[in-house]
Amino acid sequence: MSTVLSPPAVLAWRDYDPAACELPGMFLGELALPGPPQGESERLWQLGARRVRLPRAVDLSGDPDAERAAAAVAALSLVRDLTARAVLVEWDLCLAPDAADDAWQVLSHLQPPGRVEGPAGSGETLRAWRRGHYLCKCLWRKGPGFVQIRDRRWGELRRFTADEPEYEQTIERLAYGAPADSVPAAVLDDFRGERLVLDVGPLAWWLPYRISRWLQESMTI
């Protein structure tokens, strides 16, 4: 089975405001996302989607098999890519009951979910996520001959810059999930050390997004 799945069909509207979404013509309906996954956020944007709802929770609990892992990664990829476009994403997250206290924080650059299930204190987790979220919190960009990641998920700015081509190649490979053993182990270890990848079952998934809408001038980010 392929490690890359299309995300599930979503509900979409033309506006961020729920009241405005009640007006005639604002509901785009249930939209299938047949892939490829790297083009789905652009397709939704071009259709006019500014508010998108995922039909079921992203499940990161337990030890997922290949199919569950691929489904979770597909949904997370859509949340990430829509967050990069400043689209309002309505989604829920399910973590393992024994997840680490900061397990949510690796995802805190994503649009906050409506509900976090799993660990005790999820209500406070969600409040902290909402209070601390802003666009461009963890992103990567490609320059001439290098890649750079700028990460503020932990409160301070952390920068990771690499000019070796295998780093960019690994990012592209992991962007929509790939078996962890399919990329160079040394590069993956570096990314894991910086908490820039998420391990979901047998898959490794790239966390930062390439920004599509700048919050302010790119040089200040």
Return d(Cα 218, Cα 221) in angstroms, integer: 5
Q: Find all residues with CB under 8 Å of 119, minimum gap 6, and list them.
A: 95, 96, 97, 98, 99, 101, 103, 125
Give the domain ranges of the chain. Answer: 10-132, 138-220
Give the separation between CA 99 and CA 57, rounded to whole angstroms.
Answer: 16
Q: What is the pLDDT of residues 43-84, one digit of tens each?
A: 999 999 999 999 999 999 988 899 999 999 999 999 999 999
Which among 142, 156, 125, 157 has a CA at the least distance from the CA of 209?
A: 142
Q: What DSSP letter does each residue of 41-75 carry, written as one string?
A: HHHHHHTT-SEEE-SS-EEE-S---HHHHHHHHHH
Residues near 91 by beta carbon (within 8 Å), at least 6 away in sequence: 53, 54, 57, 58, 75, 79, 111, 113, 114
- pLDDT tens-place string over residues 194-219: 999 999 999 999 999 997 555 555 44
88-90 and 51-53 beta bridge pairing: parallel
Give the tens place of pLDDT for each residue, 70-121.
999 999 999 999 999 999 999 999 999 888 888 899 999 999 999 999 887 7
